[in-house]
């Protein structure tokens, strides 16, 4: 079943607005980030210990142990989620982390910036 002219125009307008605002959303993401895997491992370990304490607290009918386990699990989750930070200039100098990108890629901005620029240029020509 095909769309009516009105529905097709609404769909086209929604698609244009989506692409127009998508670049704004991508730009507010804060740029590239790095992850400290040690913090992630400690956080996951905290979650596991906390859940074990919750189970032990429930089986032994000790509410304080269960509450403490829950607190440790939440703290571990927060610790693991806080493991990412904005990438610094010296992160790109590390071996295996070349900032040049794929061979043949244009220089001067990220892939999303170049795609957004191409999209804007294409929309201006229409």
Q: Position of tokens 């956080």?
A: 43
Type and span of the H or E element at 123: helix 111-125
pLDDT at 1 (0 to 100): 67
pLDDT at 35 (0 to 100): 83
**Virtual CA dihedral for 78, 79, 81, 87, nearest 10 degrees?**
140
What are the pLDDT tens digits along the chain (126 aa)?
678 888 888 888 888 888 777 666 665 556 667 888 999 999 999 999 999 999 999 999 999 999 999 999 999 999 999 888 766 655 554 544 444 444 444 455 677 788 888 888 877 876
φ and ψ at 30, to 5 degrees?
90, 5
């Amino acid at each position: 079943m095909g769309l009516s002219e009105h529905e097709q125009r609404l769909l086209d307008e929604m698609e244009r607005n989506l692409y127009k605002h998508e670049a704004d959303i991508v730009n507010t993401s804060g740029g590239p980030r790095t992850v400290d895997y040690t913090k992630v491992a400690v956080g996951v370990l905290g979650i596991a210990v906390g859940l074990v304490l919750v189970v032990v607290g429930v089986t032994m009918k000790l509410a304080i142990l269960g509450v403490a386990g829950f607190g440790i699990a939440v703290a571990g989750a927060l610790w693991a989620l806080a493991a990412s930070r904005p990438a610094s200039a010296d992160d790109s100098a590390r071996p295996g982390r070349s900032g040049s990108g794929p061979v043949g890629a244009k220089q001067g901005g990220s892939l999303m910036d170049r795609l957004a620029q191409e999209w804007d240029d294409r929309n201006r020509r229409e």
